[in-house]
Amino acid sequence: MLRERLGAELAAHEAGEGYRALSNLFSPVHSVRQVFLMMPSATEEDWAVIARRLARVPAAYAGFRASLEEGARRGLLVAPRQVSTVVGQLDEWLAGPYFSTFAAAGPEPLRPELTRAAAAADGAVAAIRDYLRDDYAARAHGTPDAVGRDRYAVAVRRWTGSDLGAGTGLEDAYAWGWAEHRRILAEQRTEAEKVVPGGTPMEAMRWLDVHGPAVDGVDAIRERLQAMMDEAIEALDGAHFDLAEPVRKVEAMIAPPGSAAAPYYTRPAQDFSRPGRTWLPTLGRERFPLWDLISIWYHEGVPGHHLQLAQWAHVSGQLSAYQTSLGSVGANVEGWALYAERLMDELGYLTDPAARLGYLDAQQLRAVRVVIDIGMHLGLPVPDDAEGGLAGHRGQPWTPELARLFLGENSGADLAFLDSELIRYLGIPGQAISYKLGERAWLEGRAAAKARRGDAFDLRAWHMAALSQGSLGLDDLAAELARL
């Protein structure tokens, strides 16, 4: 596993990816801020550490700028869409301003030190924003959105732990993703009939936005999501999982302004001094329809990301620290979370038509991701049986504009989310396909283990063994799961 991970990282390094690591998610711009969201802040000593790290933010952003400068010198640039999106995010950070607002919660004895350090950090944010907007953007002009087959193959290996770029692997994944899109669409049409008789899936989801159950208020939705995860832990523990006490704690949080639109999860510290947390970006909203949040919180929280990554922390003493932290493979992690959504459907938690339509919408988004991520970056043709707005573009290469059209016709999410998603796929090639391909490996592994053990197969025992093996790439995952 270590050999595969280091090989993937070296390939990315040799391609110069570190010199153009700018996107609306997972970029060093965001990682600098994320550090502070994960640090303890209960004591004066904690805040003293925060103050020292705040003082180093300007150096961190200066180093990042130097990397981008070297990339520009080498002709390794990101597309203008990524630059303008990150500039917009930094504008939101500075509206607070973020670091000064964050530091204001610190203890009075450290207030002068925190205030100075936070002001310098906000100044560094403004400086990197101005550099991207006034300097880098002009040099990035003309850089294409699509990265091409060679860069995409390197990126896919990093995210999946599989050499899909060899042979027809990417074309095969593209065709499979399209078949999944068509299969899920048929299910969506059946479920939509139960919500709006005679209506399309999109009409049913828009009806649920207005007339379905919803929660008003940011604090209220955070409490609702927390309750959902607490209830899932109580229901699943002892029946489908065996959870250690530290794993039973997870916190629902509201994402800070300027985040990407997708919900996300941050793992606990290896010693559980920091719990696992789910994060909801509100995007300025105060009303939250529930139909499309239920399945997503099974994905982000319980039994999804939290049960896997907290279990890794719990068994980290028996495995390598690398395998349960830095060595995690995106397709393994996201595949489990998508498997977790499907598991909750299998267990009968998504029988309500609104909740199940939300689950199918989430599944459809992941299938669409496979199609447009591979399609855009490789310039593959739109399939011959495409419907809707794509019908007039059959056989033509995918473009960002066609991908956005396809997203809009096949996702119930709001426009801000879909726009953010498109930027994400273009800026982080290969990441988007890891969900559905990872889920496929988890399902194949479970089916093979069940076939091998027959009547002796114990799903609860299999879950715990699978969650306790640490991370693996897709070249190994299904085979290892089959042996459990």
- The answer on pLDDT for 364 being more than 90 is yes
Over the stretch 65-115, which tens digit does the pLDDT of each residue have? 999 999 999 999 999 999 999 999 999 999 999 999 999 999 999 999 999
Which residues lie closer than 8 Å to 212 by C-beta, 6 or more apart? 289, 290, 291, 354
Least confident of 148-162, 227-241, 299-313, 315-329: 315-329
User: What's this model's pTM, rounded to 2 decimal places?
Assistant: 0.95
Mean pLDDT across 403-424? 95
Q: What backbone torsions phi and psi does residue 241 show, to the nearest 5 degrees?
A: -145, 160
Q: What backbone torsions phi and psi does residue 264 show, to the nearest 5 degrees?
A: -155, 175
Q: How far apart are CA 41 and CA 216, in angstroms?
A: 29
Other C-beta atoms lying within 10 Å of the C-beta of residue 418: 19
Sheet arrangement for strand 250-254:
250-254, 276-280, 264-266
- pLDDT band at 60; cut points 50, 70, 90: very high
Q: How far apart are CA 471 and CA 332, in angstroms?
A: 7
- pLDDT band at 449; cut points 50, 70, 90: very high
- pLDDT value for 145: 97
- pLDDT value for 162: 95
- The answer on pLDDT for 120 being more than 90 is yes
- pLDDT value for 1: 87
Burial degree of 18 (CB within 10 A; 0-12, 13-18, 19+)? middle
Which residues lie closer than 8 Å to 113 by C-beta, 6 or more apart? 51
SS in 3 state form for 34-57? HHHHHCCCCCHHHHHHHHHHHCCH
- pLDDT value for 261: 87
For the chain, the structural domain boundaries read 18-143, 146-484
Closest to 253 in 3D by CA, of 295, 197, 306: 306
Instruction: Please tell me what DSSP assigns to residue 23.
Output: -
Instruction: Please tell me what DSSP assigns to residue 393.
Output: G
- The answer on pLDDT for 161 being more than 90 is yes
Mean pLDDT across 259-268? 93
- pLDDT value for 321: 87
- pLDDT value for 166: 86
Mean pLDDT across 10-29? 96
Closest to 278 in 3D by CA, of 225, 237, 337: 225
State how far the alpha carbon of 282 is from the alpha carbons of 262, 296, 459, in Å. 10, 14, 36
Averaged confidence pLDDT in the chain? 97
Mean pLDDT across 131-145? 98
Q: Return the SS3 of 254.
A: strand
Q: How far apart are CA 343 and CA 466, in angstroms?
A: 14
Q: Give the alpha-carbon dihedral of 278, 58, 117, 36, to 10 degrees.
A: 10
Q: Return the SS3 of 140.
A: helix
Over the stretch 271-325, which tens digit does the pLDDT of each residue have? 999 999 999 999 999 999 999 999 999 999 999 999 999 999 999 999 988 889 9
Bridge partner list, 251: 277
Give the pair of three-digit tokens for residue 178.
Answer: 């399209």
- pLDDT value for 218: 98
Which residues lie closer than 8 Å to 455 by C-beta, 6 or more apart? none
- The answer on pLDDT for 260 being more than 90 is no
Closest to 147 in 3D by CA, of 84, 81, 87: 81
- pLDDT value for 447: 98
Q: What is the DSSP string of 256-303?
A: PTT--SS-EEEPPPTTSSS-EEEEE--TT-SEEESTTTHHHHHHHTTT
55 and 66 in contact (C-beta within 8 Å)? no
